[in-house]
Amino acid sequence: MVLAVIVVTVAAVALYAFQPSTQQRLVIATTTSTVDTGLLAYLKPYFDSKFNANMTWLYLGTGQAVEVASRGDADILLVHDRAREDEFVSSGNGTLRITVMYNDFVIIGPPGDPAGAAGINATQAMMRISEAGSAGITTFVSRGDRSGTHALELRLWAAAGVTDPVGDWYKSAGSGMTATIRIANELGGYTISDRGTFYKLQETMNETLKMEILCENDSALLNPYGIVLLNSTRYPNIKSSLANDFLLFMVSGEGQALIDSFRAGGKQLFFPIYGSPESIGLPSENATVAYLNSQLRARGMSP
């Protein structure tokens, strides 16, 4: 009799263990920085428990993330290239875009700064790096992956009058931010990083990361992140309701507070900005904010 009870109990436990989960899987197409910094992993247990979800992500350069979403292979976008985000919505692939947080980019380089990029604005710094590179003094490592960081780099080159950086000094990594920084570090060269990823690498690499922030706090280096809802009519297979839950979670008082509290090495990596993009010089989003706030209140969530 005891053996029979044990067998039945074991069978019941095994059956329970293999029951399909009732959690819905949410796929976020996102940029590398939200993952490399650990932000999404930090937010995941809060979102999952609140909405009985399984939040997952595909982290790519922004250009690749947008392509994935445009095929309907993700449920929502979280990226940092405003031009691409707006184009995604205007083309009918998305229905709504909102700014949720920001950090900034920094130009980083080797100790000693052979190009003389420190203490000047970003455009001047890129011009000096180009001149030093052409003179064989240094190198620059580009992500070269059509990411938001790569798009910013190209804008800075254009502003510096460098329309097509070429030569042995210019290396294209074709990789994410962490890999690009590691390559630049090994070569003793320069690159552009979002501040959050650089801080995270400082924490993990310690003294093996020799690079320093040389150019920062320039308005041209501002790095806002937007969430874009996909058009569920165009992409009927996406989990549009859960995607909307994620958007509301990120702009809610709870989500914004979590973003604000996220740290690496004691340093804040992202800053919540929902509802007040004007405070950092971005266009007003009042109409979208009013609409989302009404949704938050209807759901019993605090804006």
| pLDDT tens, residue by residue, 210-224 | 999 999 999 999 999
d(CA 182, CA 197): 12
d(CA 269, CA 225): 12
d(CA 303, CA 289): 9
Q: Other C-beta atoms within 10 Å of 13: how many?
A: 10
pLDDT, tens digit, 9 for 90 and up, residues 135-146:
999 999 999 998
153: tokens are 């780099």
| Beta bridge pairs of residue 215 | 107
pLDDT, tens digit, 9 for 90 and up, residues 177-213:
999 999 999 999 999 999 999 999 999 999 999 999 9
pLDDT, tens digit, 9 for 90 and up, residues 34-44:
999 999 999 99
pLDDT, tens digit, 9 for 90 and up, residues 2-28:
334 333 333 333 333 344 458 999 999
Fill in the DSSP letter of residue 112: T
What letter represents residue 73's amino acid?
D
pLDDT, tens digit, 9 for 90 and up, residues 44-58:
999 999 999 999 999
Look at residue 163 in the predicted model and tell me its pLDDT.
84
The DSSP annotation for 142-172 comes to E--SS-HHHHHHHHHHHHTT-SS--STTEEE
CB 35 within 8 A of CB 255: no
Look at residue 21 in the predicted model and tell me its pLDDT.
58
Residue in this structure with the two tokens 């436990």, named with its chain if needed = 13
Look at residue 19 in the predicted model and tell me its pLDDT.
40
CB 55 within 8 A of CB 28: yes
Look at residue 283 in the predicted model and tell me its pLDDT.
95
Average pLDDT, the chain: 92
pLDDT, tens digit, 9 for 90 and up, residues 245-274:
999 999 999 999 999 999 988 999 999 999
d(CA 95, CA 124): 38
Q: Which residues contact 244 (CB under 8 A, 6 or more apart)?
A: 229, 295
Residue 169 reports pLDDT greater than 80 = yes
CATH code, residues 22-103+223-298: 3.40.190.10
Q: Other C-beta atoms within 10 Å of 282: how many?
A: 15
Q: Which residues contact 52 (CB under 8 A, 6 or more apart)?
A: 22, 23, 24
Evaluate whether 22-103+223-298 and 104-221 have a shared fold.
yes
d(CA 193, CA 9): 55
Question: Given the DSSP bridges, would you call strands 94-109 and 212-215 parallel, antiparallel or unpaired?
Answer: antiparallel
Domain assignments of the chain as residue spans, ordered by start: 22-103+223-298, 104-221
174: tokens are 């074709």
CATH topology of domain 104-221: D-Maltodextrin-Binding Protein; domain 2 (3.40.190)
What letter represents residue 20's amino acid?
P
What letter represents residue 269's amino acid?
L
